[in-house]
Chain A
C-alpha cells in the first residue's frame, strides 16, 4: 500500500504520494548541485566551494564578476526555461492524452520560431542591421506562441474541441510554421538565417539580469498555477465523458489548460529559444520516476527539465573550446540515454 498524504481545502485538494515526495526532495538537491557545478565550470574553473562562498557574498572580486555577471544569468534563465518547457509538456500530454504530444508537436514552439524569423526579416534595413531594439525579440516570440496556439484552438473548434482534433491540427500548423520559417530564412541573407537558426535550436547565450528579473516571477507564478490545476488534469485523463459526468466543464478546462501551457512555453522560449526535447521527454522521465498523478508529475518534471537545460548549456559552452554550441543541441544527448535506461529498467521489473 502506498503511503498517501491528503491535502484538502475549498479550492485545492491533493493526495500526495510520500515516496514521490522523497523523489522530489532528492531531485531538488540534484538541481542545487547542478546549479553550483555549472556555476563553477567554464573558461576558468572556480571550485564549487569557492562558488558557495561567492554566493554568500565573500569571494574575490574577479571570481565574483565571472560567476555573478557572466554565468549566473544564463544558468538561471536555462533553469527556468527548462522548468517551463517541461511543465507545459506535462500539461499538454495530459490534455491531449497522447504520449507524443509536446509544445513542439502542436506548433506552439514553431509559431514562436516563425515569429522570431519574421521579426528578423521585417525589422532589418537594407544593410541588414536591426531597426528596432533586440529587446523586442522575446515579445515577438511570446506573441507568436500565443497567436499560433489560438489559431490551432480556433481551427480545432467545431462545436467543442476534441483532443485528437487539437493535436492533428496542431501538427499541421506546426509543419506550416516551420515551412514559413524555412522560406523566410532562405529569402533573407545568410547571416540572418544563421542567427535565426541558433534561436530555433535554442540558446541562453544572450541572457541578462533584466531577463532573469522577468523570467523568474513569470515562470514561478505559472508553475504554482499549474500545481493548482492538477486535479482537473487528473480528471481529464479519464476521457471527456467521465470528466463531464464528474462535473468538469471539459471545454472550458481544456482551453484554460491550453492557455496556461502556451504562457509557459511562450515565456520560456522568449528568452531561451525553442529548446527541443525537454517538453516531450522530461514528463516521460518524471512519469517513470513517480507515476502519472499530476500532483507529483508536475514538480518532478519541472526539476528534470531544469536540470536538462542547465547541463546542456554547461556542456555547450565548455566542451568545445572557443566554439559555443547552443544548449538545444545537447538536451537530447543528455536526456535520451537516461530515458532509454529507464525504459529498459522498468521493463525488466
Chain B
C-alpha cells in the first residue's frame, strides 16, 4: 500500500504539472510569443495582436481544456465503477452520439451555424439521449442491471451516430462547419461558452466529492453494497445525473472527445490505487493534463493546420495506456 503522504505528494505534483500545462498552452502556438509576452499580456496589456491572441484565443482554450479534460475523466471513472466494465466511458450513455445528432439536426433543419447555439443544443441532445437509455434499460422487472444499461446505451448510441451520418450524407453542403465540431476541439471557443457550462461541471464535481463513500461501497459489488445499507437505485441515478452534467457539459463545449474518459481512470487507479477519494481527483488532474498537452501538440504536428485534439489525445495517451495495461490494471 502506498501511504497517504505519498498520494498527497502525487496529487500536489500533478497539480503543478497542470498549471505548467496551462501556462505552456497560453504561451506557445502559431503566433510567435514567449513567456514574457504572456506576462505582459496579463499585467501590461497594450492591445497588440500578440496580447489579443493570448487573452482572447489561447486563455479560453487552456481553461476549457483543463475543465473538460477533468470532467471527462471523472465521468469515465464513475461509469466504470457503476457498470463494472473496464470499457465503459461516457460514450456508453450515448452522450457524444446524442449531442452530435442534435447539433447536426439543428444545423440541417433550423439552419443554426454558430458555436454558441451548438452548446445549448448539444447539451440538450446529451441529456435526452442519456434519459432515453435510462428509460429503455429500466423497463420491466429485470431492471437497470449494468449489462442492460451498457447494451441499451451502445445500441442507442450507434443508432444516433448512424442517423447523424445519414443526415450528413444527404446535406453535404453544410458538412464543413459541422465536421469541425464533430471532430472535437477546444479551439475557437470564447470564455462566455465556458461560463455557461461551468456551473453544470462544478455541480457535478461537488456531488462526486460528497458521494465518495457510496462509490467505494458500490465498487464492492451491488449485493455487498446493498447489504451494507446503500440505496443502489438512488446511487445509480445520482451517478447518471452527474455523468450527464459532466460529459454533457464537456461535449457541448468541446464536441465529442472520447478517449480521455476511458483511459485516465485506469491510469489513475494503477498509480494511486482504487479508493475513490484518491482515484477520482487524480483521474481528474490526469485528464486535464492529457487534454492540455494534447491540445498543445495538436498545434504543432501539421502546422499551420491544426489536428483534431481527439487524435492527439490518442497519440499521447495510447503508449502510456499500453504500458500500464501490460503492468496489469487495478480493478475499479
Mark A residues whose CB is within 8 Å of B.
98-101, 105, 155-156, 158, 164-165, 167-169, 171-173, 175-176, 178-179, 182-183, 186-187, 201, 276-277, 280-281, 284, 320, 323, 325-326, 328-333, 335-337, 339-340, 343-344, 346-349
Q: Which of A105, A183, A276, A340 contacts B155 (CB 8 A)?
A: A340
Give 3 nearest A-B pairs by CB, closest first: A347-B140, A336-B159, A332-B162
Asked if B141 CB lies within 8 Å of chain A CBs, one says yes
Contact status A178-B165, CB under 8 Å: no
Q: Is the CB–CB distance between B169 and A175 below 8 Å?
A: no
Chain A CB within 10 Å, residue with most, of B141, B155, B259: B155
Task: Report whether A182 and B322 are in contact in the complex, using a CB–CB cutoff of 8 Å.
Answer: no
Interface of chain B, helix or strand or loop or mixed? helix
The listed residue (B165, B262, B322) touching A169 by CB distance below 8 A is: B322
Which residue of chain B is the closest to A167 with respect to CB atoms?
Answer: B87
A178 B166 Cβ-Cβ under 8 A: no
Q: Which residues of B contact A331 (CB under 8 A)?
A: 162
The interface centre, meaning the residue of A173, A176, A277 with most chain B CB atoms within 10 A of its CB, is A176
Closest approach, in angstroms, between the C-beta of B157 and any C-beta of chain A?
9
Contacting pair B326 A178 (CB below 8 A): no
B311 and A183 within 8 A (CB): yes
B154 near A100 with CB under 8 A, answer yes
B305 within 8 Å of A (CB atoms):
yes
Contact of B165 (CB < 8 Å), options: A172, A182, A329 = A329
Q: Of A176, A201, A326, A340, which is within 8 A of B156 by CB?
A: A340
B contacts with A, residue count (CB < 8 A): 54
B310 within 8 A of A: yes
Contact call B325/A165, Cβ cutoff below 8 A: yes
Q: How far is the CA of A98 from the CA of B88 in the complex (A)?
A: 11
Contact B266 A168 (CB under 8 A): yes
- Whether A175 contacts B314 by the Cβ 8 Å rule is yes
Interface hits, B262-319 → A, CB 8 Å: 262-263, 266, 301-302, 305, 307-308, 310-315, 317-318
Report the number of A-B residue pairs with Cβ-Cβ less than 8 Å.
Answer: 150
| Contact A182 to B307, CB < 8 A, known contacts A171-B87, A176-B315, A344-B136 | yes
> Please, which residues of chain B bring their CB within 8 A of the CB of A284?
151, 155
User: What residues of A have a CB within 8 angstroms of the CB of B252 in the complex?
Assistant: none
Which B residues touch A158, using CB under 8 A?
326
Residues in A neighbouring B141, C-beta threshold 8 A: 347-348
Complex alpha-carbon distance, A328 and B152, angstroms: 20
Known: A99-B150, A348-B139. A281 touches B158 (CB 8 A): yes
Distance from B28 Cβ to chain A, minimum over Cβ atoms (Å): 20
The reply to whether B259 and A168 contact each other, CB–CB distance below 8 Å, is: no
| A98, B85: Cβ atoms closer than 8 Å | yes
Cα A292 to Cα B263 with chains together (Å): 30
Least Cβ–Cβ distance between B137 and chain A, in angstroms: 8
A residues within 8 A CB of B139? 344, 347-348
Contact call B169/A346, Cβ cutoff below 8 A = no
Judge whether B161 is part of the interface by a CB distance below 8 angstroms.
yes
Tell me the complex Cα distance, A343–B155, Å: 10
| B317 partner residues in chain A, CB cutoff 8 A | 172, 175
Report the bound CA distance from A179 to B319 in whole Å. 13
Q: How far is the CB of B243 from chain A (nearest CB, A)?
A: 17
- Complex Cα spacing A349 to B151, Å: 18
Q: Measured between alpha carbons, how far is A167 from B183 in the docked complex, in Å?
A: 24
A151 to B142, CA, bound (A): 40
Q: B86 to A173, Cβ gap below 8 A?
A: no
Is the C-beta of B329 less than 8 angstroms from some C-beta in chain A? yes
B10 on the interface (CB 8 Å rule)?
no
Instruction: Determine whether the beta carbon of A329 is less than 8 Å from that of B302.
Output: no
Bitwise interface map of B from 211 to 253 toward A, beta carbon under 8 Å scored 1, else 0: 0000000000000000000000000000000000000000000
The distance from the CB of B150 to the nearest CB of chain A, in whole angstroms, is 6
Contact B152 A340, beta carbon cutoff 8 Å: yes
Bound-state Cα–Cα, A172 to B86, Å: 13
Q: Which residues of A contact B150 (CB under 8 A)?
A: 99-100
Contact B165 A201 (CB under 8 A): yes
Name the distance in Å between A71's Cβ and chain B's nearest Cβ. Answer: 21
Partner of B318, one of A173, A333, A349: A173
* Nearest CB of chain B from residue A282's CB, rounded to whole Å: 12
CB-based nearest B residue for A320? B170
Interchain nearest-CB distance for A223 vs B (Å): 24
